[in-house]
Homo-oligomer: A and B are copies of this chain.
Amino acid sequence: MQIVETRYHTFAEPPHELKLKSGVILGPITLAYETYGTLNKDKSNAIMVFHSLTGDAHAAFFHKGEEKPGWWDSMIGPGKGFDTDKYFVICSNVIGGCKGSTGPASVNPKTGKPFGLSFPFVTIDDMVAAQRHLIDHLGIKKLLCVSGGSMGGLQALIWATQYPEYVQSVIAIATNTRHTAQQIALHEVARQAIMGDPDWQGGDYYGKSIPARGLALARMIGHITYMSDKSMDEKFGRKLIAKERLGYDFSHDFEVENYLKYRSGNFVQRFDANSYLYILKSLDYFDMASEGKLTDVFARARAHFLVISFTSDWLYPSYQSKEMVRALKANDLDVSDIEINSSYGHDAFLVEVEGQTKLISHFLTRMQKGVSHAGK
């Protein structure tokens, strides 16, 4: 059992404050991060992985005394897809989050109180800009790979287009280049669920009751969108809970109802409702082609790309990956594009270990050879 500790990097004084996309200056900023494996001498084996909406810096290995490993432990470790015998893997919690990086639950140094809704808006670009400070701090000039699924994939794409000189390769999984009306609509329902909870109190609930009911509701919607019709049918079908008959009342009858309750009940204990609001909004704002054509945006990229999507993912459907691939190929970039057959829906990027391991380890080996042979 490999133990890891979360570390923290704070950058404070100008010019190390961050001018956010909204124009607001944020600082000092702390990033929580973890690393797995060993950085080689010429610092050429570093890979950054990015977490999705409710993830954190704890991507792999175990925290001391804990029974559950990090969220992508199936993919990161000795001999795994991101092989820590070969690579130095870094994961940091996004700004706006609530897992050690600066976010709405952090104390505003100017007031001595938690930011709440006075926390400035952050975009995916801002999250990545903050990560660049961390990479500079670690003395890494070039990342062998930037990789992530879902919101993690967005960060990888921003790295590749905003800081192309830093990025050797990109693995973008179950992700897209702009958020669609359906995605925005689903996020808006989640926001209204949280903001409609009387305990939310305009975001000023720290030290009081948390808006648990609203956040749980938001998360329930999330869970449905992370699975597929088929995976829900296979896992729950119409299975009834203990009493094994219909209750003819408003208590739960079906296992799927209990699952949603259980999972969302756990979630509210570990996640901050305001962070959920901020991060959802950063997703809605994500549109790489907002100021022009997607093809032109990717003209800046220099990296090799591996783009993975899943057949049953209806939250980030494969056609969105295909749009991305077309724009990449229009720039004569090296792109491998795979749609994995899976019934797990959007969750597939966390669950389909075997298929992804083969693709990713092969791709990374090719990238590392490319680095040493071509001296890129």
Contact = CB atoms under 8 A, between A and B. Distances in A.
A166 interface: no
B121 A224 contact: no
A196 interface: yes
Given A221-B189, A246-B285, A314-B314, A254 B213 contact: no
A181 B249 contact: no
A333 interface: no
Contact of A191 (B186, B223, B229, B250): B250
Interface in A14-38: 22, 24
Nearest to A189: B220
Interface stretch (A76-84, A127-135, A233-241, A355-363): A233-241
Contacts of A236: 181
Contacts of A229: 180, 182, 314, 317
Nearest to A23: B248
A217 interface: yes
Given A181-B233, A185-B232, A249 B121 contact: yes
Given A224-B186, A314-B229, A254 B196 contact: no
A197 interface: yes
A181 B253 contact: no
B195 A196 contact: no
Contacts of A217: 189, 192-193, 196, 217
Contacts of A181: 232-233, 235-238, 254, 256
B224 A178 contact: no
A189 to B, nearest CB: 5
Interface residues of A, number: 57
Given A189-B217, A317-B229, A248 B121 contact: yes
B220 A254 contact: no
A284 interface: yes
A153 interface: no
B189 A260 contact: yes
Given A191-B250, A281-B250, A314-B314, A256 B196 contact: no
Interface string A106-118: 0000000000010
A339 interface: no
A184 interface: yes
Interface string A188-215: 1101110111100000000000000110
A193 B193 contact: yes
Given A22-B248, A184-B256, A196-B213, 4 more contacts: A120-B248, A182-B224, A185-B256, A192-B216
21 contacts: A22-B248, A120-B248, A180-B232, A181-B237, A182-B228, A184-B256, A185-B220, A185-B256, A185-B257, A188-B256, A188-B257, A188-B260, A189-B217, A189-B221, A192-B217, A193-B217, A195-B250, A229-B317, A246-B285, A253-B285, A254-B284
Interface of A: 22, 24, 117, 120-121, 178-182, 184-186, 188-189, 191-193, 195-198, 213-214, 216-217, 220-221, 223-224, 227-229, 232-233, 235-238, 246, 248-250, 252-254, 256-257, 260, 277, 281, 284-285, 287, 290, 314, 317
